[in-house]
Amino acid sequence: MHVRIGTRGSVLAKAQAEQVGQFLQAHDPSITYELVVIHTKGDRILDRPLHQIHDKGLFVKEIEQQLLDGKIDLAVHSWKDIPSVLPEGFVLAPVILRENARDALVSRKGDFFSLPSGSVVGTGSFRRILQLKQLRNDLEYKNIRGNILTRLEKLDSGQYDALVLAEAGLKRIGLEKRICQTFSAWQCVPAAGQGALAIELRKDNDRLFDQLAKLCDEKENICVQFERAFLSRMNGSCSIPIGAYMECRGQEYVLYTVFGDPDRIVKTKHAGADPQQLLEQAVRQTEETYHG
């Protein structure tokens, strides 16, 4: 079987698509694959923070069109870039690959809590900014867009004192040595699905879906599905600060969530054996606290 894999053009996006291709090939040597690079609206609009663009399909629409037209067989995205509701005709395969979901600091001046007051911290995420402000309100949080390498160049040239990025992305392109500090899931609740690779297909591609389903990482799939369920229940998008992260510890799950607006955020943490119960508790507590 030959598989055409659609991907964005950044170094990270291509590394992620390559990882999926290699994973498929490792489990079935008869599979061959090629990467098809597709440029998205999110790659072209770099002068505004994500929460100001108001487009839930910012990084996926053009890729989905190629799927629809039959020019690619599957698309690889970051789960955190997928809108909470998929358009008709598409389906997401179960999770097969996930890296550490947490946010990390890359810095020229030490770890987050030792940065001098007034230091400029770059991030393109509204979710991160509001949570980091709760930890330190004496720093300047400045929007930064572009791929990881572009952001690191801006840091190294002195435009920023530190950056906050997903640890998973840095690891996938071999830059884990740049990480100065990793935030705990409570300090900075990750985006829903962060670190996980989302594989999108046409709904009618049963053969490929079934093949991917056999490779499912069941525990990570459960975690990502419930993180996404929180996003859906709260009608989340990149225009509001929202995040959810679930981890499995033996027989117990822990669900962290954050939700809010520019003026305030609500965080929750719930642990137990039933992921559905944790979701209901998180939604109820968030709604009651947020709406007063």
Per CATH, the homologous superfamily of domain 103-182 is Periplasmic binding protein-like II (3.40.190.10)
Strands of 264-272's sheet in order across: 242-249, 252-261, 264-272
- What are the pLDDT digits (tens) for 107-130? 999 999 999 999 999 998 999 999
Measure the CA angle with vertex 38, ends 77 and 170; round to 5°: 45
CATH class of 2-97+195-216: alpha beta
For residue 269 the two structure tokens come to 């943490």
Q: Tell me if the domain spanning 231-291 has CATH number 3.50.50.60.
A: no
| Domain boundary assignment for the chain | 2-97+195-216, 103-182, 231-291
Model pLDDT for residues 229-268, shown as the tens digit of each residue: 999 999 876 678 999 999 999 999 999 999 999 889 999 9
Residues recognised as catalytic = 81
This model's pTM is above 0.75: yes
Equal fold, 2-97+195-216 vs 103-182: yes
